[in-house]
Structure 1
Amino acid sequence: MKIKYDHSFQLPRSVVWKYIKDETVLRNSLPGCRIFEEKSYGNYLAEIDIHLGPIKDVFKLDIRTVEENSSSSYRLFVRGKGNLGEINGSGVLQIKEGQEGTHLSFVSDAEVTGALAMVSKRVLDGSADKSFQSFFQTIEKEIKRKIYLLKRSGR
């Protein structure tokens, strides 16, 4: 399953880069996230509720960030398992300064097995697109909230 998603942030690139891998921002932004912990720099453990049509499951994910190019891109690998299947994938996230903020593009390739693989491609693609849209919109809100709270506290 290949997914491509683009999002424009109304924030400077340096701010987006600073918070795009922040543990709190990510935990609050991932749909269905129960647990999100940074185990070491760029390595995370997550537990996420998955709802795809009639399929509901909890997935434990190992997320590793690799090939980081400061302030512009990184590649990540995701390996996850639930009762109804597994997911293994990789993705590349690129951030570029735009005229009115920051443009982010994300391209991923994932292999899904088990009952998840039996859900039609249309349902998987539609759910993935909505999930990424929600995720990146929420990241932007979380970054703005975090900046507001830092300014309020005088930092």
Structure 2
Amino acid sequence: MKIEYGYTFGLPKGIVWRELKDENILRNSLPGCKSFIEKAKGFYQAELEINIGPIEDVFIFEIWRNIEKSPSYYRLIVKGKGNLGEIDTTIDILMEESQGTTKLTFSADAQVMGALSLAGERILAAGAKKSLESFFLKMEKEIKRRLYQLKRGSR
């Protein structure tokens, strides 16, 4: 299953690049996130509650930052397991800056196994895109909130 998504942050690329890898920003931005821990540099474990239509489950994900080309590209390898099945995916994230904004392109190639795969690609892809939209909107708010706090703290 292929998933493509684009989002434009109203922030410069350097800031988005730095904050996109921050454990606290990620934890606060991921929909249904119960826990998010950096186990080692570039290796995370997350527990996420997934609600896509009639599908409800809790998945444990292992996430590796596999390839990194600062400050424009990285690849994630993600493996998740829940009661309803497993998800293995490779995610490519590309960022381009234009006039102080950052256009992020998200491209995933996911394999869904088990009962979860019976839901159908259209339902899963639509649910994934809705989750991505929520994730990036929350992430931008979290980054802006942090920048505001840092600015206020430096006065």
- Check whether TM > 0.5: yes
Distance 1:75 1:120 in 2: 26
Distance 2:31 2:115 in 1: 20
Corresponding residue number in structure 1 for 2:98: 98
Aligned Cα RMSD in Å?
1.1
User: Residue type matched to 1:123 in 2?
Assistant: I
Q: Identity of paired residues, percent? A: 52
Distance 1:79 1:26 in 2: 17
User: Residue type matched to 2:50 in 1?
Assistant: I
Structure 2: segments with no counterpart, 5+ residues: none
Distance 1:13 1:55 in 2: 35
Aligned-pair CA distance for 1:114: 1.1
User: Residue type matched to 2:18 in 1?
Assistant: K
Superposition map of 1:110-129 within 5 A: 110-129=110-129
Corresponding residue number in structure 2 for 1:53: 53
User: Residue type matched to 1:9 in 2?
Assistant: F
Superposition map of 1:1-155 within 5 A: 1-154=1-154
Report Cα offsets for 1:16-72 as digits up to 9, x if no partner: 111011000000010000000111111100000011221211000000001100111
User: Residue type matched to 1:143 in 2?
Assistant: I
Distance 1:81 1:106 in 2: 22
Partner SS for 1:21: coil
Aligned-pair CA distance for 1:100: 4.7
Aligned-pair CA distance for 1:99: 2.8
User: Residue type matched to 1:4 in 2?
Assistant: E
Aligned-pair CA distance for 1:111: 0.4
Report Cα offsets for 1:50-108 as digits up to 9, x if no partner: 11221211000000001100111000000010011000011100111113511100100
Distance 1:54 1:102 in 2: 35
Distance 1:23 1:99 in 2: 27
Partner SS for 2:11: coil
State the aligned residue count.
155
Aligned-pair CA distance for 1:151: 1.4
Distance 2:20 2:83 in 1: 29
Partner SS for 1:71: coil
